[in-house]
Amino acid sequence: MTARILSGKEIAEAIKLEVAADIAELEKDHEFRPGLAVVRVGDDPASAVYVGNKVKTSAELGIVSEHHHLEADTPHDEVLALVNDLNSRDEIDGILVQLPLPKQIDEKVILEAIDPAKDVDGFHPLNVGRIALGQKALAPCTPVGVIEILKRSGVEIAGKHAVVIGRSNIVGRPLAQLLLQENATVTICHSRTTDLPSVTGQGDILISHLPLPGFVRAEHIREGASVIDVGINSVTDAEAVSGFFEGEELEKRLRTLEKRGATLVGDVNPREAMAKAGSFTPVPGGVGLLTVAMLMRNTVDAARMRRLK
């Protein structure tokens, strides 16, 4: 048995085409384009790459984007003032503050200061509460991306047992709520779960979001399950890479390791998942690509809800 690969790239491209068409329609019928402001504080290399991708994609699809890059020693009050200014500007439909923030900035205060109607990351407590109540809201991009992968790949959710490994506020908890809205039976596992394989092995759908490369193995996976790997981990050890891949893919990964010093893997051991799961998302090329696409979708949805009441 070899699992079917669920391509995040194809689904992300389809969503971006839909978003671009919606933006063109808004400009034609209502004479405006959605506006997105991205705030980055400091020079974290990963944040720089993420923000660059978001700004680039915005431009490609027709969203008017602003990138506010502040120095790493920027005071908390200055960041808060910028968020409040963006809240007041009618042409800005979405505000995204790239995490993590430097230690002198209170992340909780900044995120809660964002107007919930412009909270395209879906992190504001008001939007979190609305999702928990099954109401219409801007939802976190990665969890919504997981739902899109499942639906567009023809994986049935209603009536199925979905097991989520990880209870973060960014992925695990909101994803569980979204799965409930799709009529799945949902179990959340975490570091205190006893006998993890016995629980995850019940899942028709298994979703993992942990900072642990290759942690999910064959013993955790139900035969024929749909396995969604949300993890992104950098591996620098050739022996570890050899335990995750085989054949041409292993050779490719070892070349990447030699050239760049690291290769990306998820939380799931791909070699074991491919042999036991019914379908599987690769890393890279899976869920990660959906996150930016769903940010674009959230920005358009925020613009519609704000301007076309």
Element (H, E) at 37: strand 35-41
The C-alpha angle with vertex 271 and arms to 270 and 275, in degrees rounded to 5, equals 110
Task: Report how far Cα 140 is from the mean position of its chain's Cα atoms.
Answer: 7
User: Looking at 166-299, which runs of residues are DSSP E strands?
Assistant: 185-189, 205-208, 226-229, 233-235, 263-265, 279-280
- Cα–Cα distances in Å, from 17 out to 22, 92, 124, 267, 293? 9, 22, 28, 30, 10
What's the one-letter identity of residue 305?
Answer: M
Residue 78 phi/psi, 5-degree rounding, is: -70, -40
State the first-to-last Cα distance of the chain, in angstroms, to the nearest integer.
51
Selected catalytic residue, list 16, 22, 93, 98: 98
**Helices (H) and strands (E) in the chain — how many of each?**
12, 11
* From 121, 229, 267, 301, the catalytic residue: 121
98 an active-site residue?
yes
Residue with tokens 């997105």: 36
Respond yes or no: is residue 121 known to be catalytic: yes
Q: Which residues are catalytic?
A: 54, 98, 121
